[in-house]
Amino acid sequence: MTDHLSIALAQINPVAGSLAANAGHIRAVRAAAAARGAGLVVCPAGAVSGTPLLDLAKLPAFLDAVEATVRALAQDTADGGPALLVGAPWRADSGRHNAALLLDGGKIAAIRFQAVTDTGEIGAPEEDRFDTGPMSGPVNVRGVRIGLLVGSDLTAGDVAETLAESGAELLVAMLAGPFAPGCADGRMQAAVARVVECGLPLVLVNVVGGQEERVFDGGSFALATGGRLVAHAPLFAEHLLLTRWERGANDSWDSSEAEMIAPTEGTEALYGALMLGLHDAVTKSGAPGVVVGLTGGLDSALVAAMAVDALGPERVLAVRAPLPGGPAGALADSLDDAAETVELLGCRLDNVALAPVLKAADSLLAPALAGRESATAADRLHSRLRAATLTALAERMGALLLSTVDRTDRLLGLAAEEAGCGYAVLADVSKTAVLDLARWRNANQPAGSRGPAGLVVPERVLARRLKAETPAGLPPVEALDELLAGLLDDGLPPAGLAGRGHAAEMVAMVWQLVVQAEASRRRSPPGPRISRRSAVRLRRFPIAGGFVDLV
C-alpha cells in the first residue's frame, strides 16, 4: 500500500491510424512525466490508434497492429518508470471494444472495456461504434485501486457505483469527447455527479485535436472528494497536467490545487475549435499550406484570417479570381476589400484573370446553348470554372484548397461550386455565427494564434454583410438561421416552428430548398462539426423524389 501517487494527465493529439507516431508521442510524454515524478501517466481513449477510426477499426490487420504496438509500449514499462494507462480498440470474445489498458512492469497488467453505449457527445464520437463490455472492478496501480471509466461510462452512474462498491479508491476517466457548444460544462457536470454519488475523487483526461469532421477540445481536469476542482488543462492544446494525491487518515485520497487554466467559452471557444480543426486538417494531411479564394465577402475574409491564425501567413496563399457581372462598382470594391484583407493578414496574394477563360468557355458552348441558355446556368458554369482554376492552383502547390461557404448557404444550395476543395472551415457555422466570429476576432487574438493582433477583417466587409439581403423570398439572416436550426437541428414540426414566429409558407419554401440541395451537399468537402447535431452531415435526404410537403 502507498500513501502517495502522482498522476500525470497526458492531453495529447494522436493521428488516426498512425500507430508508430502515436506510440512515439506516448513514449515522449511518459519520459516528460517521469522527469516530473509521476507514478502513473493517463492517456485519453484512443490514444494509441487515434479517433475516430470509422471502418478502420473493423480491419483485422489494423487491430493486429494495434495489439503489437500496445505490447511494445508495455515492454517499455519494465524500466521501473511510471505505469501507463492508454486507450485503444481491442478484440475480445468476438467483439471490438473501446479499451483502457494498464501497462506496468513490462506487461499488459489489466484491460477494461467501455461498458455503456456511446452518447456521441461527452465520451466518444458516435462514428466509432464499439461493442460494450462488462462492468468490471478496479485495477491495482502501485498499491492504489483505481476505477476506470472509458468513454461514455462517465455518463452512467451505475458504472461508477459498481467500481466504488468493488473497492475503488479513485476514479480515472479516459475520454475522446468532441467539441460542441457547452460540451466542456457537460463533462464537468457528469464528473461532479460521479464524485458526489460515489464519494471518490476523479481525474479525467480528454483527447485534443482535429480529425475527420471532429474537433476534440481537451480540457482535462481533476476533482477532489466533494467535487472540488483541483486542476484544469487548457482547451484546444496539448498539455501534460500533473496532479499529486495523498491518502488521508480515513483512507480517502485528496489533492492540493495544481495547475489551473480556465477554459474558454462562447465565441472564443468556437473560434479555437475551428482554428484547431483547420490546423490539423492541413498538418495531418501533410500539405504545406492552403489556398483561399478571396471574394471580398465576409466568409472568405474570415476563412483567410483563421488560416493565418492556424498556420501562419507564410503558409497561406490568397487568390483573387473575380467573376464578371454584378452592380457597377461592386467588382472594384470586392477587389479592394480582398487586397485590404491580405494586407491586414500579411499573407501572399496572387491574382488570376478569369475573363479569357470564361469568354472561351462561353464561345465554345454558344452553339449548343443557342436559344436556351439561362443566366443562372451561365453563372453556375462560371463558378465551376473559377473553382476548377483554384483547384488546379492548389494541386500544383500540393496545398489544401479551402472552401469559404458557410452552413446557411450549404443547407439551402446557395453555395458556389465546392468541387475540388479539401476542407470547409465554415461547413457547420451559420451566417449569424460567421458575423459574431469576425467581430470577436477583430477585437481579440486567439490563444496559439500565428496571425497578427488587431483588425483582420476590414470594417467595410463587416458593414456590407450587415446590409446584405438574403435571396428573394427568404427572411433576414437571423430569422433564416433560426428557422434552419429549428427545422433540422431541433426537428420541430411546422406547428412548433409557427410558435417561433415562422409562417407556414416560409417553412415549406425553406424545406424544399434544403431537400433540393441534398445532391450538392453530398459532393461538398468535409469540415469541422461544431454543433451537437450537424444538419450538414447527420440529416440526409433522398436526392431525387424527396418528400417536400411539410404543411
Which of 446, 469, 492 is the C-terminal boundary of a domain?
Answer: 469
pLDDT digits (tens), the chain, 551 positions = 689 999 999 999 999 999 999 999 999 999 999 999 999 999 999 999 999 998 899 999 999 999 999 999 999 999 999 999 999 999 998 899 999 999 999 999 999 999 998 766 676 666 678 999 999 999 999 999 999 999 999 999 999 999 999 999 999 999 999 999 989 999 999 999 999 999 999 999 999 999 989 999 999 999 999 999 999 999 999 999 999 999 988 889 999 888 999 999 999 999 999 999 999 999 999 999 999 999 889 999 999 999 999 999 999 999 998 887 655 556 677 889 999 999 999 999 999 988 888 888 888 887 877 776 666 777 778 888 888 899 999 999 999 999 999 999 999 988 766 777 899 999 999 999 999 999 999 999 999 999 999 999 999 999 988 877 777 789 999 999 999 999 888 888 878 888 888 988 899 899 889 988 888 888 889 999 988 654 444 466 666 655 555 55
Q: Does residue 240 fall inside a structural domain?
A: yes
Sign of the CA dihedral running 435, 440, 442, 448: negative
Q: Does residue 508 fall inside a structural domain?
A: no
If asked whether residues 276 and 200 sit together in one domain, one would say no
Domain extent at residue 180? 4-256
If asked whether residues 342 and 238 sit together in one domain, one would say no
If asked whether residues 157 and 283 sit together in one domain, one would say no
Which of 469, 491, 524 is the C-terminal boundary of a domain?
Answer: 469
If asked whether residues 293 and 200 sit together in one domain, one would say no
Sign of the CA dihedral running 416, 417, 420, 423: positive
3-class secondary structure, 538: helix
If asked whether residues 224 and 276 sit together in one domain, one would say no
Q: Does residue 171 fall inside a structural domain?
A: yes
CATH of the domain at 71: 3.60.110.10
Sign of the CA dihedral running 29, 33, 35, 39: negative
Cell numbers for 348, please give them.
501572399
Helix axes 183-198, 157-165, angle to 10 degrees: 30
> By CB neighbour count within 10 A (0-12 exposed, 13-18 middle, 19+ buried), where does 129 fall?
middle
Q: Does residue 486 fall inside a structural domain?
A: no
Q: Does residue 546 fall inside a structural domain?
A: no
If asked whether residues 315 and 358 sit together in one domain, one would say yes
Q: Does residue 481 fall inside a structural domain?
A: no
Q: Does residue 502 fall inside a structural domain?
A: no
Sign of the CA dihedral running 86, 20, 239, 123: negative
d(CA 464, CA 178): 34
Indicate the number of domains in the chain.
Answer: 2
Which of 469, 492, 508 is the C-terminal boundary of a domain?
Answer: 469
Q: What are the backbone dihedrals phi and psi of residue 282, each rounded to the nearest 5 degrees, phi first?
A: -80, -55
Interacting residues of 364 by C-beta distance below 8 A, sequence separation 6+: none
d(CA 26, CA 196): 32
If asked whether residues 30 and 171 sit together in one domain, one would say yes
Q: Does residue 88 fall inside a structural domain?
A: yes
CATH of the domain at 335: 3.40.50.620
If asked whether residues 339 and 360 sit together in one domain, one would say yes
If asked whether residues 348 and 301 sit together in one domain, one would say yes
